[in-house]
Structure 1
Amino acid sequence: MAATKRKSSSVNAESLHKKSKSDKVNKAKVESVTKSSKSASSNKKVLFGKVVEEVHDQGRRGARSKDAGDEEESDDDDEDDDEDTELREEPIRDDDEDNSMDIDTADQTVPQKNKIPTKEANAQKKALREERRAHKPNSDIIMPAKKLWEKIRTKELPKAERQAAMKEMMVLITGKVKDIIFKHDMSRIIQSCLKHGNEAQRNTIAGELVGNYVVLSKSMYGRFIVTKILHYCQKYRDGIMKEFHGSVRQLIKHKEASSVVEDAFSSYANATQKAALIQEFYGPEYRLFKSENKKSLKEILEQDPSKKDKILKYLMETVTGCLEKGTIQFSIVHRALLEYFENADAKGIQEMMEVMKEQAVEMLHTKEGAQVAMQCLLYATPKDRKAMLKTMKPFVIKICKEEYGHMVMLRMFDVVDDTVLMSKAILAEIIKELEDIVKDKFGRRVILYLLVGRSPKYISPQSIELLAKGDAIRASTSKKDAAIRSAELLGHISPALISLIVSKTQSLTSEPLACQVVFETMLHAAGDRKPAMDALLDLAAADPAGSTTGHPLSAMPTDRMYKMLVQSDYKAPLAEPSLHFAKALLAKISPFIGYHVLEGGSSAFVVLALLENPETAEDTKAQLSLKAKGASITTHKAMENLIKGKPEDEMKTVRLILSVLAK
């Protein structure tokens, strides 16, 4: 116990001694700083800054030591503190102009570093870079090729100079294309050679790569070369397709190669080549042995029905792998899927539906892909259809405007029983961009299908046949009557169509495709069509004298649409119920009927339709027997004078009107 106390007292004494020593060191530092600050005025700023920096550093070290909880200092720390008592000057940098010392002093002991001039430094860097490049393989080809490439790819380069540069380039790369093709920079150079070279030069490059197209297709940079050769070298297309044989199933799942196979299949392969590529989806035996005379899976199964289960199982595995790898957007996969749906039974279709029901929206841009999506909707349960509608909702406008995708919308209108869901998920999106859809070549067919169904006026016979094929299956997968479903959908879209005609009358009637929608809306829309009819009549009632661009009825296709509306009172297709459009129109244009007959051009056809309509024939004749506004003779007499002395093939509309008046 006594020994412990003596030891403790010894430690405390030693600590006090160290503390006293440390206080002396700090006092010496402060005195040194004070003395330095009283030295020559030319050194005050720099030396003061340095001293303050040293003191701050010590303060930070002391703070760290305190935070760490070190109550005792070691002998090594004492030695460091002794060394720090001497001021150490920081070397002055040549590039620090603000902090450099302008006056040399005897205390400045650290020499300045010699800085290498910029030009010399750059030259050294360049030499080092050239030396590194020289050690790389094929450096004697790559560097000269890059210089030529910069010249060849210039758009403004004259043809003769480009041809000369291409000759130099071919001297460099001929015989060595296979060695340099996998480098990203040389890949771009070879692509430019294929683009700007002549047929012989292109074939030279393609010939050197024969036997390597599968490997190139898997390369991040080489795949672009294969695509360019398919595009520019027709002579080698068949050879590239044959090199793919046996590897299609593997390549279509590959991140880089899948786009090359798709390009070959969709853009360059003929029917026989497409069949050979797609057959590898049917099973291992078709990788090596192709059915040359069979173009589809249906023909193969008709010849050997015993293979059906095995082929369909292998086909499903392959397609499922493509879905997992994210290559569902390719048309070759869509073709395989369509063949599966066309040949599988109901159970097999349901299994495939579970895999791809939420990915069907990704394949609507191709003909086969759209047909697959139509099959999915046809065979799906109400729950699956609801899931598909949700995935398609963000893309409704785009789907409506797709060349093939709009057919999916028509199938949707045929099979989905929940019309309330349809109005909220699909029709609500269509209404947001209704004007654009109405004016679109394919979009207007979606609206017309709701108005008139499968009319051959607007839908091709092939499309009608495709839709009709699913009617038998629809009877077992959809419960609601087709007529009731169509009426409910029409009821949801009609108010928006009528409102659009009221607000955009002139814009719609001046567009040929939109005129079709306006006409069918007036004939078949549900609800009150009077506001739309009044808007059309107001447009026709405009004073010709106040228009600088001509009267609306004088231009195509507006005149044709008004003529058809006049005829709809007595001639098929009839409005249901009748609009009595002819009477209302005659009342609006009667003050200017002379203009429409004599000067209106195309609007004379509208007057002729009024003459032929039983409801307005007599009133129109009476209007033509009166003097036109500001005229000295009747409109009838003016028409006779107009055709007098003119050839028979001129003024045909006026002659037709006169012939009707003569009866």
Structure 2
Amino acid sequence: MAPAAKSPKRKQVTENDAERPSKKAHKQKKVEEVVEEEEEEQYEDTEMAEEEYEEEEQEAVEGEEEDDGKPKQSSREAHEKQKVLRQERKSNKPGYEVITDAKKIWEKLRRGDCDRDERIKLMKDIMELIEGRVSDLIFKHDASRVIQTCLKFGNSAQRNIIAGELTGHYLVLSKSMYGKFIVTKVLEYCHKYRDTILSELKNNIRKLIRHKEASTVIETFYGQHANAQQRKALLAEFYGPEFTLFAKKSKDAEIHTIDELLEKHPEKKDGVLRYMAETLGGCTDKGTVGNSIIHKALFEYFSRADEKGIQNMMEQLKDQLAEIVHTKEGSQVAMLCIAHASPKDRKHLIKVLKPFLNKIAKDEYGHLVILTLMDVVDDTVLVSKAVLGELSKSMTELLQDKFSRRIYLYLLVGRNTKYFHPSTIQLISANDEVRSKTSKKDPEVRAKELLTATSSSMIDQVTEHTGELMREKMSSQVVREIMLHALGDKTAAVDAILKLCDDNIEKENHIIEHRFANRAIKALIKADTAEASDDRAVEPLGFAPKLFDTIQDNLVHFATSQGGSFVILSLAEEPSTQKKTLAALKSHKKELKAAAVSEAEGSKGNLGAKMLLDLLDK
């Protein structure tokens, strides 16, 4: 019988072998131990640790005194003894003498009244102390401030020496409570080391952006110092580890954006979106969703995910929506959330945004989110009370702000290119298609209901704050549109404007002569007969005849003044006041000619007065 074939020998796994960690695990454990040691060292340098140590010393001193049976020392003696012990403990730390000497120089260097020559000398002295020892000082909170100051005030060569010594430490520094500030200073002052920092952070962006300390470094890098290529590199790690700019494979080395990625690897779309959803979901859990790099990644995800993916991400994001509206991409994500949300979710989103509405309204991108709420939410009663009603508490201030005034202009004139740049209109209208699927109410009906609900409060603002609003450039335009397009009785507002027009003509900055206010007044004069619908009042104002009666006695004064002549010209061109105005000016041609001809060489004179003369000569 043939002998049985010998089976290949297998290496027996002993109990000790099973417990022995792998090389990778051992390496990871070693890194974790280093980080733990650094964190412990950071903690020891805090004031809390100092206080705890002093308390222990005090107890020890008191205990020794009681054991010896000797009388207790006075508080001063005990304090002196503690001071000596503390000094001994500090002096035993590595680098103590260097840090002490460097801090003495730093105290002078950081002062605002330190002149240039002295600062150069101090920088030279401090560099002699720390050069070659920078990596030993970076995790100490006091020494960290010294390094930051050196990076701020040093010359290019000195900064590069420090940055060079930090090479290899940037990843750990980014996670440090104190070290992160050094990294941000290197990013700010040492341009040539930005790529070095990026290379050290590579393949860790996903973890770092969710780290309490390191997320500050990533955001500072992405938002303030990175060029286009570096931004793409930072974002690439959101798409998956195998598709970063740092990929070693040549076929992936040319991928710079998610569009290029999906074009080259369309089969990977689902996997990439899953990876992005997992990463971004972690950011919402860790509270780092306020970073602009997250907003960009969120927008890329929302722009490509299906409805289910959008709903899942929105569920994680909805309680933190107010944190993302301050950037362009963040506001677009918020607008998409509102557009895709159900009526119940929209109500919740309004509740989340309500405490911050005033701040959001004044933001360059945040106000677009409020416009989207006005565009898509069918419950106009909710919007008029919870959103516009909340804003009305500070409407006077909002009407004068460059961005928040657009909320009221949007109510009054819609997407008018006179006040909204085409690119802004494009951002707002991007959600129209989604709105058609998620909202039932006709857009024109919705807009009319909101205008009706808000008109009375806008008219009241003009009535109560006429002078303030009309003399301000931004708000004077809103006053014009309120008087033309708001719905309701405007008699009180018209009377308030006429009262200002009747002020003493000797008063400085008279409303008719004011460069912003008189534009609104001219528009009101022509409001009843203007050909263009944008310039015509929705309800007759009868402003021109009332204004003529108010300023009739001072007509010549305004006709010959630089600011007021065009207001009088508008009265002379308006059919309802044309005859009376020209008749009143006919006997004052001499004054008009004097105003029209300027004595100053090269000046064109009063153009309004010239045009009035032309009308009189016809």
TM bin (shorter chain)? 0.7 to 0.9
User: CA-to-partner distance for each residue in 1:100-139, whole Å, 9 max, x for gaps?
Assistant: xxxxxxxxxxxx9789899998876655444333321112
Match of 1:192 in 2: 149
Match of 2:140 in 1: 183
User: How far is the alpha carbon of 1:473 from its aligned partner?
Assistant: 1.4
User: How far is the alpha carbon of 1:536 from its aligned partner?
Assistant: 1.1
User: Which residue of 242, 252, 265 maps to 2:209?
Assistant: 252
CA distance in 2, matches of 1:414, 1:129: 65
User: CA-to-partner distance for each residue in 1:405-425, whole Å, 9 max, x for gaps?
Assistant: 000001110000001111221
User: Which residue of 164, 172, 178 maps to 2:121?
Assistant: 164
Pair 1:499 & 2:460 matched = yes
User: CA-to-partner distance for each residue in 1:484-510, whole Å, 9 max, x for gaps?
Assistant: 100110111111011111111111111
Match of 2:611 in 1: 656
Aligned residue pairs: how many? 542
Match of 1:557 in 2: 516
Match of 1:584 in 2: 546
User: CA-to-partner distance for each residue in 1:331-351, whole Å, 9 max, x for gaps?
Assistant: 111111100110111121112
Q: State the one-letter code of the partner of 1:370.
A: S
CA distance in 2, matches of 1:645, 1:365: 50
Closer/same/farther in 2, CA of residues 202 and 608 from structure 1, 3 Å limit: same
User: CA-to-partner distance for each residue in 1:449-482, whole Å, 9 max, x for gaps?
Assistant: 0111101111111110111221121111000010
CA distance in 2, matches of 1:292, 1:342: 24
CA distance in 1, matches of 2:445, 2:588: 51
The DSSP-based 3-state class of the residue aligned with 1:387 is helix
Q: State the one-letter code of the partner of 2:538.
A: E
Match of 1:637 in 2: 590
User: Which residue of 529, 538, 541 maps to 2:499?
Assistant: 538
CA distance in 2, matches of 1:645, 1:217: 68
Closer/same/farther in 2, CA of residues 192 and 453 from structure 1, 3 Å limit: same
User: How far is the alpha carbon of 1:292 from its aligned partner?
Assistant: 5.3
CA distance in 1, matches of 2:466, 2:359: 25
CA distance in 2, matches of 1:115, 1:266: 60
User: How far is the alpha carbon of 1:153 from its aligned partner?
Assistant: 1.4
The DSSP-based 3-state class of the residue aligned with 2:237 is helix
Structure 1 residue runs without a partner (length 5+): 1-111, 626-633
Closer/same/farther in 2, CA of residues 299 and 528 from structure 1, 3 Å limit: farther
The DSSP-based 3-state class of the residue aligned with 1:553 is coil
Match of 2:389 in 1: 428
Contact 1:328 1:334 in 2 (8 A): yes
User: Which residue of 230, 242, 255 maps to 2:199?
Assistant: 242
Closer/same/farther in 2, CA of residues 243 and 373 from structure 1, 3 Å limit: same
Q: State the one-letter code of the partner of 2:502.
A: A
Q: Which moved more, 1:363-372 or 1:297-306?
A: 297-306
Q: State the one-letter code of the partner of 1:604.
A: S
Contact 2:240 2:275 in 1 (8 A): yes
Match of 2:486 in 1: 525
CA distance in 2, matches of 1:521, 1:443: 15
User: Which residue of 356, 375, 390 maps to 1:395?
Assistant: 356
CA distance in 2, matches of 1:567, 1:183: 71
Q: State the one-letter code of the partner of 1:640.
A: K
Pair 1:568 & 2:568 matched = no
Q: State the one-letter code of the partner of 2:281.
A: T
Match of 2:65 in 1: none
Closer/same/farther in 2, CA of residues 641 and 215 from structure 1, 3 Å limit: closer
Closer/same/farther in 2, CA of residues 186 and 540 from structure 1, 3 Å limit: same
Match of 2:31 in 1: none
The DSSP-based 3-state class of the residue aligned with 1:544 is coil
Match of 1:512 in 2: 473
CA distance in 2, matches of 1:332, 1:203: 27
Closer/same/farther in 2, CA of residues 451 and 141 from structure 1, 3 Å limit: same
User: How far is the alpha carbon of 1:568 from its aligned partner?
Assistant: 2.4
Q: State the one-letter code of the partner of 2:592.
A: M
Closer/same/farther in 2, CA of residues 575 and 174 from structure 1, 3 Å limit: same
Task: Give the number of the structure with larger relative contact order, counting CA–CA contacts within 8 Å between residues 6 or more apart.
Answer: 2
CA distance in 2, matches of 1:182, 1:117: 37
Match of 2:434 in 1: 473
User: CA-to-partner distance for each residue in 1:72-100, whole Å, 9 max, x for gaps?
Assistant: xxxxxxxxxxxxxxxxxxxxxxxxxxxxx
Q: State the one-letter code of the partner of 1:214.
A: L
User: Which residue of 599, 613, 616 maps to 2:574?
Assistant: 613
User: How far is the alpha carbon of 1:352 from its aligned partner?
Assistant: 1.3
Q: Which moved more, 1:491-500 or 1:634-643?
A: 634-643
User: How far is the alpha carbon of 1:538 from its aligned partner?
Assistant: 1.6
User: CA-to-partner distance for each residue in 1:173-216, whole Å, 9 max, x for gaps?
Assistant: 11110111111111011111111211111111001011211110
CA distance in 1, matches of 2:597, 2:564: 21
Contact 2:597 2:605 in 1 (8 A): no
CA distance in 2, matches of 1:157, 1:265: 33
Closer/same/farther in 2, CA of residues 236 and 585 from structure 1, 3 Å limit: same
Match of 1:285 in 2: 242
Structure 2 residue runs without a partner (length 5+): 1-68
Contact 2:562 2:606 in 1 (8 A): no
CA RMSD of aligned residues (A): 2.1
CA distance in 2, matches of 1:329, 1:121: 49
**Overall identity of the aligned pairs, in %:** 47
Closer/same/farther in 2, CA of residues 528 and 637 from structure 1, 3 Å limit: same
Match of 2:103 in 1: 146
The DSSP-based 3-state class of the residue aligned with 1:155 is coil
Pair 1:445 & 2:406 matched = yes
Closer/same/farther in 2, CA of residues 204 and 605 from structure 1, 3 Å limit: same
Contact 2:597 2:606 in 1 (8 A): no
User: Which residue of 350, 366, 371 maps to 2:332?
Assistant: 371
Q: Which moved more, 1:187-196 or 1:371-380?
A: 187-196
Closer/same/farther in 2, CA of residues 516 and 249 from structure 1, 3 Å limit: same
User: How far is the alpha carbon of 1:516 from its aligned partner?
Assistant: 0.9
Closer/same/farther in 2, CA of residues 481 and 642 from structure 1, 3 Å limit: closer
User: How far is the alpha carbon of 1:642 from its aligned partner?
Assistant: 4.2
User: CA-to-partner distance for each residue in 1:548-571, whole Å, 9 max, x for gaps?
Assistant: x24211111011111122222333
Match of 2:45 in 1: none
Closer/same/farther in 2, CA of residues 116 and 251 from structure 1, 3 Å limit: closer
The DSSP-based 3-state class of the residue aligned with 2:564 is helix
Q: Which moved more, 1:572-581 or 1:333-342?
A: 572-581
User: CA-to-partner distance for each residue in 1:127-181, whole Å, 9 max, x for gaps?
Assistant: 5444333321112312111211112112222322222121111111111101111
User: CA-to-partner distance for each residue in 1:247-290, whole Å, 9 max, x for gaps?
Assistant: 10010011110110010011111111111111111112124418
Which runs of structure 2 are paired with 1:42-61 in the superposition (5 Å)?
Answer: none
The DSSP-based 3-state class of the residue aligned with 1:358 is helix
Q: State the one-letter code of the partner of 2:546.
A: A
Which runs of structure 2 are paired with 1:28-177 in the superposition (5 Å)?
Answer: 127-177=84-134
Closer/same/farther in 2, CA of residues 131 and 597 from structure 1, 3 Å limit: same
Pair 1:622 & 2:583 matched = yes
The DSSP-based 3-state class of the residue aligned with 1:554 is coil
Q: State the one-letter code of the partner of 2:307.
A: A
Contact 1:298 1:343 in 2 (8 A): no
Match of 2:36 in 1: none
CA distance in 1, matches of 2:617, 2:242: 81
Match of 1:407 in 2: 368
Which runs of structure 2 are paired with 1:280-319 in the superposition (5 Å)?
Answer: 280-287=237-244, 288-289=246-247, 293-319=254-280
User: Which residue of 545, 558, 565 maps to 1:596?
Assistant: 558
CA distance in 2, matches of 1:581, 1:342: 50
Contact 1:276 1:292 in 2 (8 A): no
Contact 1:152 1:162 in 2 (8 A): yes
